[in-house]
Amino acid sequence: METTLRGVGVSHGVAIGEVRHMGTAVLEPPAKQIPAEDAEREQGRARQAVEAVAADLIARGNLAGGEAQHVLEAQAMMAQDPELMADVERRIAVGSSAERGVYDAFASYRALLANAGEYLAGRVADLDDVRNRIVARLLGVPMPGVPDSDEPYVLIARDLAPADTALLDPALVLGFVTEEGGPTSHSAILARALGVPAVVALPGAGELAEGTVIAVDGSTGEIFVEPSAEKRAEMESAAAARKAALSASTGPGATSDGHKIPLLANVGGPGDVPAAVEAGAEGVGLFRTEFLFLDDSERAPSEEKQVAAYRAVLEAFPEGRVVVRVLDAGADKPLDFLTPADEPNPALGVRGLRSLLDHPDVLRTQLTALAKAAEGLPVHLEVMAPMVADRADAKAFADACREAGLGAKFGAMVEIPSAALRARSILREVEFLSLGTNDLAQYTFAADRQVGAVSRLQDPWQPALLDLVALSAQAAAAEGKSCGVCGEAASDPLLACVLTGLGVTSLSMGAASIPYVRATLAKYTLAQCERAASAARATDSAEEARMAAQAVLSGE
């Protein structure tokens, strides 16, 4: 009998196939004492396992490329954290085996952060995965992972670590469903990059029996268990129609009546550029420069290294628009040379622009490198600051841009409710706004963007979030300036229409989403988008907002 479940759709497409579960294993080693004379040997085993796991993560990243490579390189750095390794060696010195020392050191690290109020839930899956890989290597057992299968299947897991997601074979893994995670988790971002339909935050997903046939709609988040022949045909027909529409839709982003909405790409570095160009991106709406800095958490990259990385991206979009976000460090992206180590809640502390204003030399070097990278190129370079709270922040950033001789537009990200509420004031200091809907939702609803239990509050369809988007867009229009969206909200084709109706002037997203958004926008007039936006804002929940917008656009 067909039943319907609902999670959070995070990667477009339809997948129909049999369930296969992610391999699991008990990786808690026995707590046995070792003789003192074995301590040095066990410490050596631990170091070798750590280095081997880090090397494997880097190798997987090199194979995957793009966004996945940045994520896996950061995970390799986590494995090699010197403080964690020192704790492992201390535990071994007092009698723990190598595997038990690793297990307990990681457990202690997590507990210490949680008790201190640290805001690192977004890295829990990554941290657990690193621990499991090291312990599995020391125990000599296979690492739990993607099941072996000769036939295509839908993968079910509690969560997927980046190392597993990055190397999924789309020919075998038709789609995946997880119990945990959220729309901005690493797994969700990598699923979109791979083009694999995915649904996250589905309670009880692990209870689906092996071999059960399910149909996954990565757009709506719906899971149909044992779908009827009629339902399968309906979903396959809709998927085919969507594919045809994607193929037919080319050129710049625009509504059916010609209202232009530039469709830009979110990138983390030069490795993400080919996919953006292939998807027809009209430029870059968010260049996340922090990935360049995460290569070495103890020092900033040299000006020369920065110039080379920036220029590689700028050259890919001649006469296009490239919006660069200066370093956004702190919270779940700590850097030893920049981030305070003793903050009780880093997400509410010195992160983003606040860190850069405390370290003006780092900001000055980055702005100077951007200026040099753009020399002689026809590209339209724009530079924006993360975590702008008020006009004083915006002025400090604008002054720094001028002092660095940056001949580019400079703007502010709207990620804090205060920035949306006082957007017109901020726009007296900068030339454009860019809405980071992921963090804006997080701070508006006090809901960690990586915690599945609060994913409903991270839903970008929440009417309160749409209100803040509207306020920002209206302020920009009043000042004759632009206001784009560069958060994951822009990757939802239906929501892209609503954002357009709210007055947003550009949309930036992962490259894989651009064709879907382009094709959907081209079906509706600006007036229809505006009516859909009004209908969505008149509701009281994300689900009601989505349904109201859909009803308007479908003519119901």
53: amino acid identity, one letter: V
523: amino acid identity, one letter: K
Give the integer Cα–Cα distance in Å for 217 and 238. Answer: 10
Give the integer Cα–Cα distance in Å for 124 and 550. Answer: 35
Q: Are 486 and 323 in contact (CB under 8 A)?
A: yes
- Choosing from 70, 186, 359, 497, the catalytic residue is 186
Q: Which residues contact 549 (CB under 8 A, 6 or more apart)?
A: 494, 495, 497, 498, 532, 533, 535, 536
Give the integer Cα–Cα distance in Å for 510 and 88. Answer: 38
Give the integer Cα–Cα distance in Å for 456 and 454. Answer: 6
Q: Are 354 and 387 in contact (CB under 8 A)?
A: yes
Q: Is 497 a catalytic residue?
A: no
Pairing assessment for the beta strands 213-217 and 8-11 based on DSSP bridges: unpaired
Give the integer Cα–Cα distance in Å for 147 and 24. Answer: 10
Question: In whole angstroms, what separates CA 373 from the centre of its chain?
Answer: 26
Give the integer Cα–Cα distance in Å for 452 and 59. Answer: 29
Q: Are 135 and 29 in contact (CB under 8 A)?
A: yes
Residue 543 phi/psi, 5-degree rounding, is -65, -45
- DSSP string covering 106-118, please? HHHHHHHHHHTT-
Q: Which helix (H) or strand (E) holds 173?
A: strand 173-178
Buried b (16+ CB within 10 A) or exposed e, 358-387: ebeebbebbbbbbbbbbeeeebbbbbbbbb
User: Phi-psi region for residue 370, left (φ > 0), alpha (ψ -120 to 50) or beta?
Assistant: alpha
Q: How far is CA 275 from CA 66, 264, 315, 379, in A?
A: 9, 12, 15, 19
Strands of the sheet containing 213-217, edge to edge, are: 3-6, 222-225, 213-217, 14-21, 153-157, 173-178, 198-200, 8-11
Q: Is 380 a catalytic residue?
A: no
- Choosing from 401, 483, 486, 497, the catalytic residue is 486
Q: 64 is written with which tokens?
A: 């995957």
Handedness of CA 250, 251, 257, 261 (dihedral sign): positive
Q: Are 486 and 458 in contact (CB under 8 A)?
A: no
Give the integer Cα–Cα distance in Å for 308 and 310. Answer: 6
Give the integer Cα–Cα distance in Å for 122 and 334. Answer: 13
Q: Mind telling me the catalytic residues?
A: 186, 486
